[in-house]
Structure 1
Amino acid sequence: FTSWQAFRKVLNEISDLAGQREVVAESLQLQIIQGISLLSKTLREERKKCLSNGTILHQNLTTQLAALERAKRNYEKAYRDSEKAVENYKKADMDLNLSRAEVERYKNIMTAKIQQSDDAKNEYANQLQKSNNLQQQHYHELLPEVFNRLQELDEKRTRGIREFIISAADVESSVAPIIARCLEGMVKAGESINEKEDSYKVIERYQSGFTPPGDIPFEDLSKMDTLDTSQESHYNHVQSSHLTVKGTISANKIKKRVGIFNIFGSNKVS
């Protein structure tokens, strides 16, 4: 049958299509999936490194600003102590009841406090300069470098997506002509089906040579002799027809051909 032949051709084309899909799957696995995995791993590591560097930079700046705050508090305390020492010395110097040694002691305390204040002031100035330099470097050089690196990584990720999409399309395009030929073969297989030819083959295969029976004679009960003869003739005719419908049996009873009327002999409901 043409439908059977077309179905076999379609199965062959489907097998070829499956083979091309395997080629696509293997190519995607080797060229795309592995590339995505490698790029993803690299980007994760680089991004983690950038974030770690950014954290370190932030901690360094925070530490320096904390040192500046401590130096400022020390300077403020030392300055207040020095002012108090100067005030105490002035009072002692004007107090005539104090001995020269006592006044000298207040003077030494004042000198020491002034020196401590100057040292704290210098330390504060030093920490302030360090903080300003580090803060300027942090916001104008170090931190922008981290952000630029993160931007480069994101651009690399985006560029990878573009390349992977194009590569995937190229893989599909490489097998598209073969797939098109397979589909064309399936269309031709479908177009080769000839329902008339198949139905004629069914008729040729299952035709039985059955001859339709003649009219059933009227049975006149008033003519018994004629009735007996008619019944016998009709019985023989039915028996002959029955053999013809059920199948033709050869003399040696070896070959039996089943007639198409057997499709009406079953009481089963499909």
Structure 2
Amino acid sequence: MSWGTQLWDQYENISSQTNKGIEFLEKYCSFIQDRLAIEKEYATKLRRLAKSYQPKKREEEDNEFSSCQAFRNVLKEINDLAGQREVVAESLEQRIVQGIQVLSKALRDERKRCLNEGTSLQQTLTAQLSALDRAKRNYEKAFRESERAVENHKKADMDLNLSRAEVERYKNIMTAKIQQSDDAKNEYANQLQKTNNLQRQHYGVALPTVFNRLQELDEKRTGGIREFIIGTAEVESAVAPIIARCMEGIVKAGESINEKEDSFKVIERYQSGFTPPTDIPFDDLSKHNPDSPLDSRVLSNHFTVKGTISKGVKKRTAIFSFFGSNKEDFSDLPPSQRRKKLQAKIAELQHKLNQEV
């Protein structure tokens, strides 16, 4: 079914429909533009989020925990996800938005040409109908005048009081009016034939051709929307495998967390190496020499209840003097932590020594 035959008398509605169709196409273009703006904003915020949660320098010690390492990997995958959203936005702009803009301009230009041609055809037909109307009015006027002239001639011919010359004058007037009526009739018939031919051509060929072109234009617009909608899905599908790998990376990061291992690392980090304090003996004051100094009653255990080295114990720092200051020999740390730090320091010095050799 074609618009040219089925909608032959719906010029205004066809014009309105094609305009609304192009406006709808441009509305869909605006939708895609707003969407890709959201995609860009989302990607930017994802990158900013991943960057803001990157471990700070003061948090480097915590990076040994599997949960912290997993979180760093999650941030990396989030950053990759942001990159894929940027790819989606770029593809939507280049493939969909630009495609719609090109199609919209082409459709508007073609629609304008069709409407101009249709307007020209309508003006030509209107002008011919006006010519026919004038010819008909002239014919009607001439016919009435010829009838009156015939009637006047009959009356004059029957009037015995009129001279032959007067009767002849009425006869000549009648003949002239009849000729004018015949000429007007022929002109009317000629204009009627031209009008019918033009009208037949107008509604049978010329205008249907324009309407069919407008139908093709509208179908092209509708088909374009179909392809653009499918295209948006294809853009998403193109990055889906990479996004899936990002999700797999996040799952892998989560699965790498080992709570037992992290718990053991807490022990390694904070274990002091001290033994729990022994039972505090009963101090029987009656068995002590009252003249003995108070310091003689100090607990024989060199560790206080809090587990720290008592002030009565002399610190052995001489053997670590080659490390430099007390802070460098880690003397302020508990034994276990100090041992690990010293071992690391020795390994570092050994490495430097090997490099120099």
- TM-score (norm. length: structure 1): 0.78
Q: Check if 1:64 corresponds to 2:139.
A: no
8 Å contact from structure 1 (residues 82, 114) kept in 2:
yes
Q: Give the CA RMSD over aligned residues.
A: 3.4
SS of alignment partner, residue 33 of structure 1: helix
Displacement of 1:211: 5.8
Displacement of 1:167: 3.2
Q: Check if 1:104 corresponds to 2:175.
A: no
Displacement of 1:215: 7.4
Displacement of 1:202: 2.3
- Which residue of 180, 193, 201 corresponds with 1:129? 193
The more displaced of 74-83 and 162-171 is 162-171
SS of alignment partner, residue 160 of structure 2: coil
Q: Hey, what does 2:210 align to over in structure 1? A: 146
Call closer, same or farther: CA 1:77–1:207 in 2, change over 3 Å. Answer: same
- Distance, in Å, in 1 between the alignment partners of 2:268 and 2:160 is 151
Paired residue total: 251
Query: Taking CA–CA contacts closer than 8 Å with sequence separation of 6 or more, which of the two structures ends up with the larger relative contact order?
Result: 1
Question: What amino acid is the match of 1:2?
Answer: S
Q: Hey, what does 1:175 align to over in structure 2? A: 239
Q: Which runs of 5+ in 1 are unaligned?
A: 259-270
Q: Hey, what does 2:257 align to over in structure 1? A: 193
Q: Hey, what does 1:54 align to over in structure 2? A: 118
Displacement of 1:178: 2.2
Displacement of 1:153: 0.8
Displacement of 1:147: 1.5
Displacement of 1:172: 2.9
What whole-Å deviation, never above 9, does each CA across 1:55-105 have from its counterpart, x for those lacking one?
222222222222222211111111011100111111112112222222222
- Which residue of 151, 158, 164 corresponds with 1:94? 158
Displacement of 1:174: 2.9
- Distance, in Å, in 1 between the alignment partners of 2:274 and 2:128 is 112
Call closer, same or farther: CA 1:135–1:214 in 2, change over 3 Å. Answer: same
- Distance, in Å, in 2 between the alignment partners of 1:115 and 1:63 is 27
8 Å contact from structure 1 (residues 208, 244) kept in 2:
no
Q: Which runs of 5+ in 2 are unaligned?
A: 1-64, 285-289, 310-314, 318-324, 335-357
- TM-score (norm. length: structure 2): 0.60
Q: Check if 1:15 corresponds to 2:79.
A: yes
**Which ranges of 4 or more aligned residues in structure 1 deviate by more than 4 Å?**
209-220, 250-253
What whole-Å deviation, never above 9, does each CA across 1:21-58 have from its counterpart, x for those lacking one?
33333233222221111011101111122122222222
Q: Hey, what does 1:120 align to over in structure 2? A: 184
- Distance, in Å, in 2 between the alignment partners of 1:218 and 1:94 is 173
